[in-house]
Amino acid sequence: MNHYRFSANTGFLWKELLFIDRIRRAAACGFDAVEFHDEAQQADTLALSDVLTETGLRVLGLNVRMGETAGCAAIASRKKEALKDIDTAIETAQRIGAGSIHVLAGRTGDEGNRNSYLRALRHALNASDITILIEPICRAAMPDYFLHDIDQAAEILDEIDNPRLRILFDCYHIEAEHGAMMEQFHKHKSRIGHIQIASFPERAEPNQGSIDYGIALREFLAAGYGGYFGCEYNPKKAVEVGLSWRDHFQLS
């Protein structure tokens, strides 16, 4: 590998385009893979499979249905709905060859239930052989989300004790919630299944803000991370205008 492998997150990039066209644009812009929010469950599976074959892009993962509460796996009153959403995501992932599923806990407020979340995660693990991801989301972005703290996520992984349950490490969320993002990475690197990048504090293109990705990306690889870097950021202008940031982060 002579360059970093970047994945285009279609939930953030080219949102003005139809979902299928976002995938084509990702390929045209030289991305190595794509990752989805929950667009794939709403798309025509045949058309989606065709465009993936056409572009040759790998699907790293997708979210369960998000809805108004950003998932519902930790909401006890919505157990059946949460399991159905997981089953649908698994079916979609298997049809298109997605490598992972992000099971969102949900904006639970006072209804957050850890046992419900654990039950849903165990169901996801038992129902497929796909990697299951959980993501700590910072309070600044979503104050009523169930899972904020990466140590809390690590405790859940330790309790369930399945190597296919991993942490989705979003650099923006970790920096916002904890600070010292690289320290948190090194503390939890054995549990991390995927890394997403964006600037901090704006959550824009990664070549600005207080996180120096020129250093961080090399450090991730040196520490043994061998995956892709998911580009989940809010472009300041048209995506193509800002993509020159990738030129700053090439391996020699």
Question: Cα–Cα distances in Å, from 90 out to 8, 23, 35?
Answer: 21, 20, 15
CA distance 84 to 171: 30
Question: Is residue 177 among the annotated active site residues?
Answer: no
Task: With residue 133 as reference, give the H or E element that holds it.
Answer: strand 131-134
Question: Is residue 81 among the annotated active site residues?
Answer: no
CA distance 8 to 60: 10
- Both structure tokens of 219: 């450090």
Which is catalytic among the residues 39, 175, 177, 232? 232
Q: What angle do CA 150, 153, 157 make, to 5 degrees?
A: 140
Which is catalytic among the residues 135, 175, 177, 205? 135
Largest interatomic CA distance in the chain: 52
CA distance 161 to 49: 33
Active site residues: 135, 232
